[in-house]
Every structure is written in structure tokens, then in C-alpha cells.
Amino acid sequence: MKDSEKQNNVARRVVVLGSTGSVGRQTMDVIRMHHIQVSGLCAMSDVQTLEEQIRAFSPPFCAMYDEAAAYDLRVRIADTNTKVLQGSEGVCQLAALPGADLVFNSILGTAGLRPTLAAIEAGKDIALSNKETLVTAGTIVMQQARRKGVKILPVDSEHCAIWQCLNGENHARIKRLWLTCSGGAFRGYSKEQLDHVTLEQTLAHPTWQMGAKITVDCATLMNKGLELIEAVHLFGVSANMVEIVLHPQSIIHSMVEYIDNAVLAQMSVPDMRLCIQYALTAPDRLHAPTTPLDFFTCGALTFDRPDYEVFPLPLLARHAIERGGNCPAVLNGANEAAVQAFLQGKILFAALPQIVTKVCEDFPKIDAPDLEQIEQSDKLARQEVIRLLESGVF
């Protein structure tokens, strides 16, 4: 590493929320490579991995959602100087930690929302990998970020790509944002074929190595629907300015089309560490532990329209953000509960969009909900999924 690169990053102090998950572990790899100082780490219940990270990075603070796991961790690291916080309150305390410059949030699910708001209130810039923060409460989050002068830095490959393509450009000249989509495990399948797919097939993503929940979302294309909602909030565009395009090779990570019909694209070999590194070090570009893109061997790049007859969930997400209010929170809660039921073997893959659609259609809309109403809508949507499953409708 060049001395100038090390100097640019050694001063940045980072709190990593969700450090033991898939994105979190890759984040720690990047932090290790660039000698970034770790102020705090957080996990849900993975005591062993968090202990290993604490011993490797020596953060002054850590937090564990699960209180029993927090007790276990205290015993394990009693010989260190790391203080253990616990519960949702402890995680929010960690997110607002004095002295940290950046909070990297890769907590899975709606559990990541309140820590994000705590970090914003404390004036911390946020590298955001937690989709649910913006999907469920994007209006509130972005309003608070603007009020506090906080930057929300996208980590997902698609939004990170758009962010890079917007650098130095006039946002008023945006014509369209293009979210690329690999198509997931079942690209090209018919409705009839989806009736017979297995959990094992669903979790076999053709491009990315991710957690189970997001891999299922990729297979249903709900992931693109959630990313559409995120893009609306992150970049201040209307939903009709965001399009989804199938790109099986996952070389182009997203594109920005301008009013002069010029299109800027960000391209690389698929590797989340590149997005993570950019969020941690932007606007600098540093050497990355990723494979260079070889234009002579990567092959043809192809594009196609998604088949919304077979994969309707992105359209449902578009409808939710266009309706606004608590609709995206209902969508998210219903989807998380349905995916959990699928992962537990309680429903077939083909039932996922049916269940989520049913809950969204029947749920009462709340205009301009506050945070408590958003969380309640998410909770009630999950309960409605459980009720539908218990009733035998699906």
C-alpha cells in the first residue's frame, strides 16, 4: 500500500453494525487491508465470530442484540479492553458512539432502522447495506439525514454504481436510472416450472454469494423491487425514472441515462468488496483485493426485459412506493415473513408473490406515517402472513 493511501484512511474510525454476517465479514476484510480503525462492532448472536473479530481489531466497544449472547461474550473476552453493550438500546448506543466518523450498517432486516436513525442523530455518515432502512422509512431517514447534514453512502452494488455514475454530474439532467439484474436462480423459468422448484435450487445464485434471505429475494426479483424503492429515496427521483434490466453476466452493476441520451455505466467483476471499499474510502480510489475486469475474456454482455407475468414482485414494489405512506413497510414486512416461511419449508416458492400481494392489497394505507406507525405496519403485515398460513389459504 502506498503511504498516501494509508494516510487517507487511517484517520477514519468506523463502527460496523452486523459485522458477522456475509457483508459484514467482507467489510472486515477491506478494513484489514486498508488499516482502517475500528471503533465498534455489532452482531445479533454469533458470539464466536464476534470474539474473533474483537481479538483481531481491538475495538473499544461492541454490541450484541441477544442478551444471553452478550453475557457469553463478556465471559469470553474478559481478558480484553472491549466493553460489551447489549440489546437494541446497546446497538443504538454503539451507532451513536462519540469519536466514530462512519457507521457501516449491514444489519439484516428492520432491526437496522433505529440504529441508522441513532447514527444520523449523532451526526455520523452512514455506509448503508441495510435495505430495510430506506424501504420501510426512507422518507423519514432522508429527511433526518438532510437536517443533520449526514451523508447516506450506498453499499449495494447497484446503488453504489449509480452513485459513482452521478459523480460530478448535474442530477437535474437525469433521464433514467437503470438497475441491472442477474435474473436470480430461475431466470427464464415459466410459472409452471416455478411450481416445482426446491429450496436448494433457490439458494443457488448464479453470480453472488449472499445470505439466504437476500438470495430468495433475488430469485423472486423482489430484491430489484426493494432496490427500486431505495433508489427513489437515495437519488431523489420518481419511481417512473427507475427501470430494471436483466443482465445475466453481472458485469455492469447499474447505469445512469441522461437527458442527452448518454449512458454512464459502472463495470467490474462481481465482488461486493469493491462496493464496500468505495463506501469506506470515497472519494478516494484505492487498490482493491478484487479481480480486474478482462474485456478480452468476459464474453458478450446481454440485456433483456424482466418477465413480470412470471415475476410480479418488482411491479408490486413499484406500486408500493408510488402509493407511498406505509405501503413500502407493509410490503417489506409481508415479504420477510413469507421468505422466512419458505426457508422453514412451510410454503412453496410459487406462493411467495401470492402471499405478499394478498397482504399488500388488503392492508389499510396510512399517509405520512411516523416511525411508530411504520414499525407497527411492518409488524402487522408479518402477523397477517402468519394468519394466512395458519388458515390454510396458502
Residue with cell 477514519: 12
Eight-class DSSP state of 288: -
Contact 94, 62 (CB under 8 A): yes
pLDDT in the model for residue 211: 81
In whole angstroms, give the CA distance from residue 276 to residue 306: 27
In whole angstroms, give the CA distance from residue 242 to residue 256: 10
Write the CA distances from 311 to 253, 306, 315, 371, integer angstroms: 21, 8, 9, 31
* CA–CA–CA angle 374, 331, 393 (5° rounding): 120
pLDDT in the model for residue 288: 92
Number of H helices, E strands in the chain: 17, 11
Nearest alpha carbon to residue 19 among 120, 116, 107, 81: 107
Eight-class DSSP state of 64: E
pLDDT in the model for residue 358: 98
In whole angstroms, give the CA distance from residue 304 to residue 316: 20
Contact 247, 181 (CB under 8 A): yes
**All structural domains of the chain:** 3-155 (3.40.50.720)
In whole angstroms, give the CA distance from residue 1 to residue 8: 11
In whole angstroms, give the CA distance from residue 355 to residue 334: 8
Q: How many other CB atoms are there within 10 angstroms of residue 392's CB atom?
A: 6
Q: How many other CB atoms are there within 10 angstroms of residue 208's CB atom?
A: 16
pLDDT in the model for residue 304: 98
Burial of 37 per CB tally in 10 Å (0-12, 13-18, 19+): middle
In whole angstroms, give the CA distance from residue 181 to residue 163: 17
- Walk along the chain (394 residues) in steps of 10 and give the mean pLDDT of each run: 42 91 96 96 98 99 98 98 98 97 94 97 97 96 98 97 97 98 95 97 79 93 98 98 98 99 98 96 93 97 98 99 98 98 98 98 97 98 98 88
Contact 329, 136 (CB under 8 A): yes
Residue with cell 401470492: 354
In whole angstroms, give the CA distance from residue 294 to residue 268: 9
Nearest alpha carbon to residue 32 among 1, 77, 76: 1
What are phi and psi for residue 366, nearest 5 degrees?
A: -120, 120
C-alpha cell at position 172 = 437535474
Strand partners, 16: 41, 104
Give SS3 for 334. Answer: helix
**Which strand (E) or helix (H) includes residue 174?**
strand 174-181
C-alpha cell at position 394 = 396458502
On the CB side of 244, how many CA atoms lie within 13 Å of its CA? 27
Contact 91, 85 (CB under 8 A): yes
Write the CA distances from 339 to 54, 294, 336, 350, integer angstroms: 32, 37, 5, 11
Contact 52, 72 (CB under 8 A): no
Q: How many other CB atoms are there within 10 angstroms of residue 123's CB atom?
A: 10
